[in-house]
């Protein structure tokens, strides 16, 4: 049968065959909500009907500023399912960026969690297209008295019709959701996903060699629903009927460990920064993770020390993944092949460190600066290009330039790819160090630094140098109560990397500045410390 690939089909399937499979959600204002996929679908339909009554029509954008919770999930399905575009905003951005993005996207309604009420109140008057502001709570007289312009989510749901059905005129190539890149340089750029790209991405994500979700799993996405749609997990989990646990605002180590263990979570996903907090909590409390079997780690390089700790101390398998907003976001995931089974343990450990291989639907290649494709031999290092079913063709509204190069999307990363397709990110092209004409990978140097017993966090940046143009500078946050000796730290690299890779100096700091998705802001570090070697 010729049927369109539509996002509503996911929640329809989940409601029909996994209707009582639980979605457990930590509420922003306290307490836990529990219901099944059938309830989630029913409320998504009522929400869709309420938005229609408000006059919203395809392809109006509906903004969200929200944590991972059941109402946000209903928005994913109610908004996209009815032909509108679900535009998730990152609340950690600077208010000026929120204003820029919402005006650029022309969001007509904004749904927001209580946490973000001060942000919404501050930016509201500068939003040109947004006519409705919906607090994702039951109605509250105190809030109404202070903010008369606020509407309440539960009132909207109550207003929705019980007999509303998904529109029958949607095409799989229609827009379904919108995310903006974090824009560390220049204005953020919008990436518009279609129903088709989202469904193909979700179907592939769930397969065993990718995220490996099943109806026996319980998924807790730590990665926020505003960070590239929580890496597509809110689509991939209902598609196979996994139980879901939505952690709400509490993303600290203790809150997460409590939820992992009380809800018997089997799989999770998140950025390394979050896992560092969780591992520190486990270390301090002596708790274990008896139910968690694996977790997807990506967004920035997962240090091998973290993979080892999860495996050796907690029996948790790390699935190291690489992706980007422009790729919905999944590009590659590290899983073994049949031929690797029976390999010596130490070789397997080494193989599991890289960013993995692309699933069906994605093709990766490395290219030199003149656009010549380099061999997949594990040695040739070049600019990582990508093409596939869920890769963008242009930025939203065309603002952000033409992202494609001869039919490929240049990712801005520098990589090697081996003959089996396993890809290793060496650096972002703007972060990599070129010293006396030779490349030095900051990622490799950082991974080694955080395996030092006294180092909590590390960043390596390119610092200007009179003789070599650029030299690596190691920036370090020591572990609490430790005062490591710089010379000893540099000695730690001896024998582990080429001599000329060893950083010239160590700079101690209290914290490393991070962007809205938890990534180190290396440009800010370069501004602060880029000249320290010249001064010497
Ligand atoms: P932005 O590009 O705006 O920072 P994204 O979340 O789309 O936001 O980030 C994509 C980038 O993150 C990739 O191009 C890559 O540099 C980095 N990245 C993602 N996953 C990994 C990983 N596993 N290892 C190293 N870098 C990664």
pLDDT of residue 183: 61
Burial of 249 (0-12, 13-18, 19+ CB in 10 A): middle
In the predicted model, what is the mean pLDDT of residues 313-323?
A: 98
Chosen domain end from 183, 203, 223: 203
Of the pLDDT bands very low, low, confident and very high (cuts 50, 70, 90), residue 315 is: very high
- The dihedrals phi and psi of 345, each to the nearest 5 degrees, come to -50, -40
Q: Are 315 and 291 in contact (CB under 8 A)?
A: no
367 belongs to a structural domain: no
Asked if residue 522 has its Cβ within 6 Å of ligand 1, the reply is no
Match 């190291």 to its residue by tokens. 320
In the predicted model, what is the mean pLDDT of residues 337-366?
A: 97
Chosen domain end from 203, 220, 235: 203
pLDDT of residue 228: 96
Residue 184 clears pLDDT 70, i.e. is over it: no
Number of domains in the chain: 2
Asked if residue 411 has its Cβ within 6 Å of ligand 1, the reply is yes
Ligand 1 atom at minimum distance from 188 CA: 3
Q: How far is CA 24 from the centre of its chain?
A: 21
Q: Does 295 qualify as catalytic in the annotation?
A: no
Rounded Cα distance, 237 and 221, in Å: 10
Q: Report CA-CA distances (Å) from 228 to 70, 257, 354, 461.
A: 18, 24, 22, 27
Phi and psi based region of residue 255 (left: phi greater than 0; alpha: psi -120 to 50; beta: remaining): alpha
pLDDT of residue 467: 84
pLDDT of residue 17: 98
The CATH number of the domain where 60 resides is what?
A: 3.40.50.12780
Q: Does 439 qualify as catalytic in the annotation?
A: yes
- The dihedrals phi and psi of 372, each to the nearest 5 degrees, come to -85, 130
Of the pLDDT bands very low, low, confident and very high (cuts 50, 70, 90), residue 195 is: very high
Match 């594990």 to its residue by tokens. 378
Question: pLDDT tens digits, residue range 117-143?
Answer: 999 999 999 999 999 999 999 999 999
Q: Does 326 qualify as catalytic in the annotation?
A: yes
Question: pLDDT tens digits, residue range 147-165?
Answer: 999 999 999 999 999 999 9
Question: pLDDT tens digits, residue range 210-237?
Answer: 999 999 999 999 999 999 999 999 999 9
The CATH number of the domain where 503 resides is what?
A: 3.30.300.30
Which protein residue's CA is at the shortest distance from atom 25 of ligand 1? Answer: 301
Q: Would you state the structure tokens that stand for residue 490, as one six-digit string?
A: 């540099």
In the predicted model, what is the mean pLDDT of residues 38-46?
A: 98
Burial of 490 (0-12, 13-18, 19+ CB in 10 A): middle
283 belongs to a structural domain: no
Q: Are 388 and 363 in contact (CB under 8 A)?
A: yes
Ligand 1 atom at minimum distance from 324 CA: 7
pLDDT of residue 185: 59
Rounded Cα distance, 335 and 333, in Å: 6
| Domain extent at residue 174 | 8-203
Rounded Cα distance, 229 and 246, in Å: 13
Residue 536 clears pLDDT 70, i.e. is over it: no
Chosen domain end from 157, 185, 203: 203
In the predicted model, what is the mean pLDDT of residues 47-57?
A: 98
153 belongs to a structural domain: yes
pTM: 0.92
Q: How far is CA 287 from the centre of its chain?
A: 26
238 belongs to a structural domain: no
222 belongs to a structural domain: no
Of the pLDDT bands very low, low, confident and very high (cuts 50, 70, 90), residue 468 is: confident
First CA to last CA distance, the chain: 71
178 belongs to a structural domain: yes
In the predicted model, what is the mean pLDDT of residues 188-208?
A: 97
DSSP letter at 184? S
330 belongs to a structural domain: no
527 belongs to a structural domain: yes
Of the pLDDT bands very low, low, confident and very high (cuts 50, 70, 90), residue 176 is: very high
Catalytic residue among 430, 438, 439, 482: 439
Q: Does 434 qualify as catalytic in the annotation?
A: yes
């Amino acid at each position: 049968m010729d049927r369109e690939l539509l996002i509503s089909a996911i929640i329809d399937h989940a409601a029909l065959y996994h209707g009582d499979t639980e979605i457990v959600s930590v509420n922003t204002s306290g307490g836990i909500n529990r219901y099944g996929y059938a309830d989630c679908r029913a409320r998504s339909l009522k929400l869709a009907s309420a938005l229609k009554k408000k006059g919203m029509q395809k392809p109006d954008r509906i903004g969200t500023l929200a944590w991972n919770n059941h109402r946000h999930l209903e928005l994913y399905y109610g908004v996209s399912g009815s032909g509108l575009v679900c535009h998730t905003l990152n609340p950690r951005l600077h208010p000026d960026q929120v204003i820029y993005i919402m005006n650029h996207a022309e969001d007509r309604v904004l749904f927001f969690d209580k946490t973000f009420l001060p942000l919404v109140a501050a930016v509201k008057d500068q939003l040109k297209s947004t006519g409705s502001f919906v607090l994702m709570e039951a109605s509250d007289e105190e809030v109404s008295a202070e903010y008369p312009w606020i509407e309440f989510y539960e009132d909207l749901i109550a207003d929705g019709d019980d007999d509303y059905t998904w529109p029958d005129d949607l095409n799989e190539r229609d827009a379904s959701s919108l995310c903006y890149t974090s824009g560390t340089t220049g204005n953020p750029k919008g990436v518009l996903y279609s129903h088709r790209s989202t469904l193909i991405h979700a179907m592939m994500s769930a397969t065993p060699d990718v995220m490996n979700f099943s109806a026996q799993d319980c998924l807790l996405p730590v990665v926020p629903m505003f960070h590239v749609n929580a890496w597509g997990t809110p689509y991939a989990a209902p598609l196979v009927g996994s139980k879901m646990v939505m952690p709400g605002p509490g993303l600290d180590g203790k809150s997460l460990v409590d939820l992992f263990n009380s809800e018997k979570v089997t799989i999770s996903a998140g950025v390394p920064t979050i896992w560092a907090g969780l591992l520190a909590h486990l270390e301090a409390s002596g708790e274990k993770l008896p139910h968690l079997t694996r977790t997807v780690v990506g967004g920035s390089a997962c240090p091998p020390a973290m993979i080892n700790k999860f495996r050796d101390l907690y029996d948790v398998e790390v699935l190291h993944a690489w992706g980007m907003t422009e790729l919905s976001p999944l590009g590659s995931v590290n899983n073994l092949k049949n031929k690797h089974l029976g390999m010596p343990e130490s070789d397997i450990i080494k193989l599991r460190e890289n960013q993995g291989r692309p699933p069906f639907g994605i093709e990766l290649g490395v290219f030199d600066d003149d656009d010549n494709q380099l061999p997949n031999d594990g040695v040739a290092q070049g600019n990582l290009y990508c093409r596939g079913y869920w890769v963008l063709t242009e930025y939203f509204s065309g603002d952000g330039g033409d992202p494609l190069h001869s039919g490929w999307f240049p990712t801005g990363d520098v990589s090697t790819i081996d003959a089996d397709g396993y890809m290793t990110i060496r650096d972002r092209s703007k972060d990599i160090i070129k010293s006396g004409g030779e490349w030095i990978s900051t990622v490799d140097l950082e991974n080694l630094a955080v395996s030092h017993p006294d180092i909590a966090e590390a960043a390596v940046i390119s610092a200007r140098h009179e003789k070599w143009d650029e030299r690596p500078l190691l920036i370090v946050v020591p572990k609490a109560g430790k005062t490591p000796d710089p010379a000893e730290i540099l000695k730690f690299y001896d024998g582990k990397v080429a001599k000329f890779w060893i950083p010239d100096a160590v700079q101690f700091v209290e914290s490393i500045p991070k962007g809205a998705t938890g990534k180190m802001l290396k440009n800010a570090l370069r501004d602060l410390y880029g000249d320290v070697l010249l001064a010497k």
